[in-house]
């Protein structure tokens, strides 16, 4: 039996465009391996406009046409206006895929998109760190009340399954803290500066590769890592941290000379996010650049790769490493959330049939 999930894409930048590309290439494979296909019925983008198409939009047209500003108006059901909340409410999607800009202060517009989607009876999958860091618990509860899912694997370490590893495979291991490299852009920049590039040239390369935020200040000043530390600490350590409670500094104060000096001593600068539960029960978290010795397990993590080491009571340290950014890598995170949703729904249907 094949299930068709209709989806609306909010934001049509690097990540959601990559998901649309995967749909053009892999729907048959997903049908064969998992028993579902994805059909896009709504899209909203600030520059391109919006489309509401209950009968489905050809993902090839979306990914292969060079739409200019307002260009979606040329398509059936299209408009030059982004009308994102109309797309959420009126496009008949089972799942809303939120991949607009991350706003670390208000979480908007993504927070409103997620709330409107859940209120309209739609599951939400997102890579947007804003609503997750600011309101994951509330949104998850809201989804559960409606029998829906709110999933966000891509909000930390892109498609590398860090949240599922910690929640599922490490369940019961007694996680007491974590420490890791959680921003692909800054790790990439530090590596390129070690190779002799200046900061601006290294940042341009990270932007061209699709790693950086729309405003890369978030990457290089540590704000992006701060959101990820909050997401992990709240979810895995039972904390209730707001981003403003986490001390944070980035890599912009490091000069090429600072970087060259430590490399000549066999060390490397890394932007590190960490949190740990204290003996009095409080969770302390911070983000800062640290100079690590060559023997440290995080020192060899290069490029846009991220890694996080969980400290556990049963296993000691457990480290997961993998892509921390990238368009396809992050679209994969959305796919992994949809696969989880599908498996959950299929298991529920079998249980209902057995009762």
Ligand X SMILES: N[C@@H](CCO)C(=O)O
Judged by beta carbon distances under 5 to 8 A according to partner kind, the member of ligand X, ligand NDP, none in contact with residue 277 is: none
Cβ neighbours for 293, distance < 8 A, ≥ 6 positions apart: 266, 267, 299
Judged by beta carbon distances under 5 to 8 A according to partner kind, the member of ligand NDP, ligand X, none in contact with residue 14 is: ligand NDP
Which residues are at the interface with ligand NDP (CB under 6 A)?
Answer: 10-15, 44-48, 82, 84, 99-102, 109, 127-129, 154, 158, 210-211, 213-214, 325-327, 330
Nearer to ligand X, 14 or 42 (CB): 14
Catalytic residue at 179? no
Residue appearing with tokens 């509401």: 52
Query: Could you give the angle at the alpha carbon of 72 between the alpha carbons of 18 and 7, nearest 5°?
Result: 50
Of positions 13, 237, 324, 327, contacts ligand X by CB under 6 A: 324
| Catalytic choice (17, 192, 228, 270) | 228
Number of residues that bind ligand X (CB under 6 A): 11
The reply, when asked if residue 213 is annotated as ligand binding, is yes
Nearer to ligand NDP, 210 or 273 (CB): 210
Is 183 among the residues that bind ligand X (CB under 6 A)?
yes
Measured CA to CA, the distance from residue 194 to residue 189 in angstroms comes to 9
| Site stretch for ligand X (CB under 6 A), options 163-171, 181-189, 272-280, 334-342 | 181-189
Nearer to ligand NDP, 10 or 318 (CB): 10
Cβ neighbours for 279, distance < 8 A, ≥ 6 positions apart: none
Judged by beta carbon distances under 5 to 8 A according to partner kind, the member of ligand X, ligand NDP, none in contact with residue 109 is: ligand NDP
Nearer to ligand NDP, 69 or 350 (CB): 69
For 53-81, b where at least 16 C-beta lie within 10 A, e where not — what string?
beeebbbeebbeeebeebbbeebebbbee
Is 325 among the residues that bind ligand X (CB under 6 A)?
yes
Is 158 among the residues that bind ligand X (CB under 6 A)?
yes
Quick check: 87 and 42 in contact, CB under 8 A?
yes
Is 203 among the residues that bind ligand X (CB under 6 A)?
no
Judged by beta carbon distances under 5 to 8 A according to partner kind, the member of ligand X, ligand NDP, none in contact with residue 10 is: ligand NDP
Judged by beta carbon distances under 5 to 8 A according to partner kind, the member of ligand NDP, ligand X, none in contact with residue 222 is: none
Nearer to ligand NDP, 199 or 211 (CB): 211
Measured CA to CA, the distance from residue 238 to residue 281 in angstroms comes to 10
Is 329 among the residues that bind ligand X (CB under 6 A)?
no
Residue 58 CB, nearest approach to ligand NDP (Å): 19
Is 152 among the residues that bind ligand X (CB under 6 A)?
no
Measured CA to CA, the distance from residue 106 to residue 102 in angstroms comes to 9
Judged by beta carbon distances under 5 to 8 A according to partner kind, the member of ligand X, ligand NDP, none in contact with residue 183 is: ligand X
Is 321 among the residues that bind ligand X (CB under 6 A)?
no
Considering only CA atoms, which of 74, 117, 70, 126 is closest in space to residue 92?
Answer: 117
The reply, when asked if residue 270 is annotated as ligand binding, is no
Is 224 among the residues that bind ligand X (CB under 6 A)?
yes
Is 190 among the residues that bind ligand X (CB under 6 A)?
no
Q: Which residue is nearest to ligand NDP (CB)?
A: 13
Where do contacts with ligand X occur on this chain (CB under 6 A)? 158, 183-185, 211-213, 219, 224, 324-325
Which residue ranges are tagged as binding site?
A: 129, 213
What residues are labeled active site? Answer: 228
């Amino acid at each position: 039996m094949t299930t068709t999930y209709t989806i609306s894409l909010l934001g049509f930048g690097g990540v959601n465009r990559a998901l649309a590309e995967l749909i053009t290439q892999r729907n048959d494979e997903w049908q064969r391996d998992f028993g579902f296909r994805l059909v896009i019925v709504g899209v909203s983008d600030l520059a391109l406009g919006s489309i509401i198409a209950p009968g489905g939009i050809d993902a090839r047209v979306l990914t292969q046409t060079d739409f200019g500003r307002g260009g979606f108006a040329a398509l059936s059901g299209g408009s030059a206006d982004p009308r994102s909340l109309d797309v959420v409410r009126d496009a008949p999607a089972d799942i809303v895929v939120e991949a607009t800009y991350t706003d670390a202060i208000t979480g908007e517009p993504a927070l409103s998109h997620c709330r409107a989607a859940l209120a309209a009876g739609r599951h939400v999958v997102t890579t947007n760190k804003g609503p997750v860091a600011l309101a994951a618990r509330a949104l998850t509860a809201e989804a559960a009340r409606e029998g829906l899912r709110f999933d966000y694997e891509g909000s930390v370490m892109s498609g590398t399954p860090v949240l599922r590893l910690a929640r599922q495979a490490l369940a019961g291991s007694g996680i007491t803290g974590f420490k890791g490299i959680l921003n692909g852009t800054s790790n990439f920049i530090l590596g390129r500066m070690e190779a002799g590039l200046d900061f601006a040239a290294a940042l341009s390369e990270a932007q061209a590769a699709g790693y950086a935020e729309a405003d890369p200040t978030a990457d290089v000043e540590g704000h992006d890592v701060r959101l990820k530390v909050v997401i992990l600490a709240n979810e895995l350590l039972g904390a209730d941290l707001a981003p403003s409670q986490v001390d944070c500094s980035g890599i912009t104060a490091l000069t090429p000379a600072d970087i060259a000096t430590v490399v000549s001593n066999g060390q490397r600068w890394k932007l590190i996010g960490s949190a740990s539960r204290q003996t009095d029960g409080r969770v302390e978290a911070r983000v800062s650049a640290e100079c690590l010795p060559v023997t440290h397990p995080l020192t060899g993590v290069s490029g846009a790769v991220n890694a996080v080491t969980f400290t556990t009571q049963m296993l000691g340290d457990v480290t997961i490493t993998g892509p921390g950014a990238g368009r396809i890598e992050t679209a994969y995170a959305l796919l992994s959330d949809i696969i989880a949703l599908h498996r959950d729904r299929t298991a529920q249907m079998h249980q209902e049939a057995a009762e």
